[in-house]
Amino acid sequence: GSLRTGGGVWDVGLSLTHHMLQIHQGILGPGGEKCGPSKGFKGPEETPRKGLKGTEETPTKGFQGTRVLELGAGCGYPGMIAAAMGAVRVVCSDRMDHLEHMARNVALNNLQSSVEVRELDWEDRESGGLRGEEFDWVVGSDLVYEADSHEPLLLTLRSFCGPGTRILLGQEIRSEVHFGFFQRLPLHFLV
């Protein structure tokens, strides 16, 4: 099969990993707010988290020691960056036709001990054997292409998020379809 969308790192994937690095280094808070002495920020461990609606906020420490799920991982770049920043478990997930390429990238970067490559179909969230697992971070870039993917993606996000989970999504807005998804997020999550 062709790796049309998952065969390389797109601009939004690069922007997402840049944002992840800034969060990890304490330059940005997990919500994108600038951090520093003028804001009274003392480090990433004191940054409040936003999880599922109605849950308590808890502190975060960037990506060090966390569990990360990358959705629609393609070549797995953001997931591998999370592993390089000290995540103890990273699951890079995508459709079956992307897994071989992704696994090869993980092996080329010697990250097999911390990065798992799994199939995950948003229509069948049990497809990757991850049922009931919660992650500290769920990341993804350019996930929303068509309106019929909105509901499966929202349900997938909810199924892997616990009270302290942070979701970090990047999307190049190419059409009104993309706005529709992001307008629905506040109905399900604190944003």
- Residue pair 20/90 in contact by the 8 Å Cβ criterion: no
Q: What distance in Å separates the CA atoms of residue 50 and residue 134, rounded to the nearest whole number?
A: 14
pLDDT given at position 176: 76
* pLDDT over 50 at 56, yes or no: no
Q: What pLDDT sits at residue 45?
A: 38
pLDDT tens digits for range 160-175? 998 889 999 988 877 7
pTM exceeds 0.85 for this model: no
The mean pLDDT value of the chain amounts to 79
Tell me which of 32-41, 93-102, 108-117, 122-131 is least confident: 32-41
- CA dihedral (118, 119, 120, 121) in degrees, to 10, reads 180
For the chain, what is the radius of gyration of the CA atoms? 16
Is pLDDT of 138 > 80? yes
Per-residue pLDDT reduced to its tens digit, 72-113:
999 899 999 999 999 999 999 998 988 999 999 999 999 999
pLDDT at 114 over 90: yes
- The DSSP bridge partners found for residue 28 are 34
